[in-house]
């Protein structure tokens, strides 16, 4: 499983990002991917790097189509093949559980 952390930095449309975060989360929801938003980014779980990049690019396109003149996208990918990689597994390894 591929874990991808993504942060979109919208530039040129004010300082509040809540509407744009919700727009990206809506795109992730429609894509069917498992995702975990947090205060600074969102983590996606996908089967391939290509799927992750397609979804990240699609959400970025939605932000641009909404009128944002510039988007900086920060991506971090964890591609681990020796075990079943997931957000749940990582949190359980440090004694935390994913909240429903």
The pLDDT of residue 89: 86
The fraction of the chain above a pLDDT of 90, given in percent, is 74
List, in sequence order, every beta strand (DSSP E) within the chain. Answer: 2-11, 34-37, 42-46, 70-79
The pLDDT of residue 96: 73
Residue 28: CATH number of its domain:
3.30.70.930
34 dihedral zone (left: phi>0; alpha: psi -120 to 50; beta): beta
98 in a structural domain: no
The pLDDT of residue 61: 97
Task: Name the residue range of residue 69's domain.
Answer: 2-93
The pLDDT of residue 37: 95
Domain count along the chain: 1
pLDDT at 67 exceeding the cut of 80? yes
Task: Read off the pLDDT of residues 70-99 as tens digits, 9 standing for 90 and up.
Answer: 999 999 999 998 988 898 888 888 887 666
15 in a structural domain: yes
Please give the angle made by the CA atoms of 23, 32 and 75, to the nearest 5 degrees.
60
Cα 31 from Cα 10, distance rounded (Å): 21
Return the closest-CA partner of residue 98 out of 23, 51, 17, 37: 37
């Amino acid at each position: 499983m591929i874990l991808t952390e993504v942060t979109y930095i919208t530039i040129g449309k004010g300082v509040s990002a809540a509407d744009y975060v919700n727009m990206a989360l809506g795109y992730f929801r429609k894509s069917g991917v498992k995702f975990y938003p947090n205060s600074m980014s969102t983590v996606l779980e996908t089967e391939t790097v290509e799927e992750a990049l397609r979804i990240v690019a699609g959400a970025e396109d939605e932000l641009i189509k909404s009128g944002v003149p510039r988007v900086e996208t920060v991506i971090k990918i964890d591609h681990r093949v020796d075990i079943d990689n997931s957000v749940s597994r990582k949190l359980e390894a440090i004694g935390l559980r994913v909240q429903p």
